């Protein structure tokens, strides 16, 4: 069976601007360069999977249906830009729930592995938080890029292979 190379992307802060518990289409603003970057990844033969913690569901700020509606909108916008998102996995739990799917736990990667044969050694994780980079480390994804954000500090920068200021900069890093 063929294996897939995947770019795993965090959502809030990587795909869209993170304004805190984003669940309304009107509040969903794509990051500059996200479509160009994803087109670059696709041209290199990567599939794209989004992995996102969504504790707002567990906290009761919004529902799973709200998340599904927003995800459909997001995927449609990618499709309009000639990008197919292979899948979107989310964790609806709060940190104190101690579930196996909340990053940095590897449950979302395990879910993706059950559905798709993924070559984790040649895949990438791109995120803006320590939990994204730790997810990659915990799951055996060796290639990591941290996007500088209000959440980053030197510990995260030392753990990640690369640190950039924007998703656009990843085009110079991710190669075949």
Instruction: For strands 124-127 and 87-91, give the pairing.
Output: unpaired
Q: What is the pLDDT of residue 1?
A: 55
Residue 153 exposure: Cα atoms within 13 Å on the Cβ side: 4
Distance CA 143, CA 10 (A): 14
Is 10 considered catalytic here? yes
What local confidence, expressed as pLDDT, does residue 77 receive?
98
Half-sphere exposure at residue 55, Cβ-oriented, CA atoms within 13 angstroms: 9
**Are 162 and 144 a contacting pair, CB within 8 Å?**
yes
Rg (CA), the chain: 15
CA dist 107 and 101 (Å) reads 4
The angle at the Cα of 35, spanning 134 to 13, to the nearest 5 degrees, equals 40
Query: CA end-to-end span of the chain, whole Å?
Result: 20
Q: What pLDDT does residue 61 have?
A: 98
Determine the pLDDT at residue 156.
Answer: 53
> What's the pLDDT score for residue 155?
58
Check residue 148 and report its DSSP letter: P
Residue 118's pLDDT is 96
Whether the ω angle into residue 133 lies within 30 degrees of 0, i.e. cis, is no
CA distances from 155 to 26, 160, 167 (A): 34, 9, 20
The secondary element (H helix, E strand) that includes residue 173 is none
Q: Tokens in use for 121?
A: 């050694």
DSSP label at residue 21:
S
**What pLDDT does residue 157 have?**
64
Given 12, 18, 47, 132, the catalytic residue: 12
Token digits of residue 25: 């289409």
Q: What is the pLDDT along the chain (176 residues), one digit of tens a residue?
A: 568 999 999 999 999 999 999 999 999 999 999 999 999 999 999 999 999 999 999 999 999 999 999 999 999 999 999 999 999 999 999 999 999 999 999 999 999 999 999 999 999 999 999 999 999 999 999 999 999 887 776 655 678 999 999 999 999 999 87
Reply yes or no on whether 12 is catalytic.
yes
The phi and psi torsions of 43 (rounded to 5 degrees) equal -65, -30
Structural domains of the chain, with CATH: 5-172 (3.40.50.1000)
Of the residues 10, 18, 47, 128, which is catalytic?
A: 10
């Amino acid at each position: 069976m063929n294996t897939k190379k995947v770019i795993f992307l965090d959502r809030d802060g990587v795909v869209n601007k993170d304004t805190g518990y984003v669940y309304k289409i009107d509040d969903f603003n794509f990051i500059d360069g996200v479509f160009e970057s994803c087109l670059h990844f696709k041209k290199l033969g990567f599939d794209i999977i989004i992995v996102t913690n969504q504790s707002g569901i567990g906290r009761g700020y919004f529902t799973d249906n709200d998340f599904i509606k927003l995800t459909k909108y997001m995927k449609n916008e990618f499709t309009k830009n000639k990008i197919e998102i292979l899948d979107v996995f989310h964790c609806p739990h709060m940190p104190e729930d101690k579930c196996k799917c909340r990053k940095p736990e590897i449950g979302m990667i395990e879910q993706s592995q059950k559905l798709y044969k993924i070559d984790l050694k040649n895949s990438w994780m791109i995120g803006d938080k320590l939990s994204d980079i730790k997810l990659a480390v915990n799951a055996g994804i060796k290639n990591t890029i941290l996007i500088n954000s209000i959440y980053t500090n030197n510990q995260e920068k030392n753990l990640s292979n690369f640190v950039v200021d924007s998703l656009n900069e990843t085009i110079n890093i991710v190669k075949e």
